[in-house]
Structure 1
Amino acid sequence: MHGKKIRSWIVVADSAKARIYSNTGPKLDLALVSEIDSDGARRSSQELVTDKPGRTFSSASPRRSGMEPPSDPQDVEKHKFVKHLVSILDTAALGDEFDDVYLVAAPRTLGEIRKLANGHITDKVRGELAKDLTNIPEHDLPKHLEDLDIGKPVLA
């Protein structure tokens, strides 16, 4: 019995860059769909904030001390990047651009994707790998993805 070919997307990401690949069929043959990069998430917090922190008086003494920003600017940029990536996946899921998706990301990034993803994406997640493979050359990726069984039929 011959069925429809499954269109799989494989997302390889960290907190500042992502490559999205597609695969159809039982053999792992990756085709690049999109590459997303965040210049801001790669910069240090000092590069992202040009102003020096403000100064304040301590309530217990007349001494002044520096104020810390409420959140780390680099963490904010990383969060914005992952949120943007999830938005792209959500739009693609709604547009029926893939049948299933495999998430391969640095552990912290994978956790954030899980928190931000909605049902459109989570319903299509077929496998996850908590590893940062963003610096692996494209031709070497298949051997790192073997355990995910991409393209293999799902036994119901």
Structure 2
Amino acid sequence: MELPQHTVVAVADGEKLSLFKNEGDAANVSLKAMASEEIDSSKISSGGRHSSSSANPDDSQQEEDGFSLGVTDMLNKHVLDGNIKSLVVIAAPRTLGEMRKRYHKSLSEILIGELDKDLTGHSLQDIEKALAAA
């Protein structure tokens, strides 16, 4: 996957978010960590809190889904504010599915790629390698 200079790469799962910016160019990707932000994880995708049962997600799953939606809301805001011009999202498959539900149209327009892999906690080199292989 080619990453234009200044592309933001969001690496997320249901509990953690890491943001990187490509300081290199499309041919020579060089990711640099960006400052982390507080994520509002109070949102629940199912429309409200439910008690846990076999028919409903458990509390930890609801918290992970809420975090995913908080990440998406933060990314949407940065895109709408003009702070992100191109974006790649790398997320665990379930997290990515939850995030896609809330992508703003403007985010979808600047999204240059997605990877459904859990790379949180992986080294910068692993992330760059996964992007190069995509």
- Rg (Cα) greater in structure: 1
What's the counterpart of residue 14 of structure 1?
A: 13
How big is the shift at 1:36?
Answer: 5.6
Aligned residues: 118
**For structure 1, which runs of at least 5 residues remain unmatched after alignment?**
41-52, 54-66, 149-156
Structure 2 residue runs of 5 or longer lacking an equivalent are 42-50
Task: Give 1 or 2: higher strand fraction.
Answer: 1
> CA RMSD of the aligned region, Å?
2.6
Deviations 1:5-52 (A, max 9, x none): 7421111111111111111422211111233688x9xxxxxxxxxxxx
Paired residue type of 2:94: R
Map of 2:29 onto structure 1: 28
CA distance in 2, matches of 1:37, 1:137: 22
1:68 is displaced (CA, Å) by: 4.1
Residue 79 of structure 1 pairs with residue 65 of structure 2 = yes
Query: 1:1-150 counterparts in 2 under 5 A?
Result: 6-24=5-23, 25-26=25-26, 27-35=28-36, 68=53, 71-148=57-134
In the superposition, the TM-score normalised over structure 1's length comes to 0.66
> In the aligned structure 1, how far is the partner of 2:38 from the partner of 2:77?
18
Instruction: Kindly indicate whether the alpha-carbon contact (under 8 Å) linking 1:19 and 1:36 is maintained by their aligned counterparts in 2.
Output: no
1:120 corresponds to which letter in structure 2?
A: S
Percent sequence identity over aligned pairs:
26
- Give a deviation string over 1:50-71, Cα, whole Å, max 9, x none: xxx9xxxxxxxxxxxxx94954
1:93 match: secondary structure:
helix
8 Å Cα contact 1:10-1:104 kept in structure 2 = yes
Instruction: Tell whether the 8 Å contact from 1:17 to 1:36 is kept in structure 2 after alignment.
Output: no
Deviates more, 1:18-27 or 1:77-86: 18-27
Which secondary structure does the structure 2 equivalent of 1:31 belong to? strand
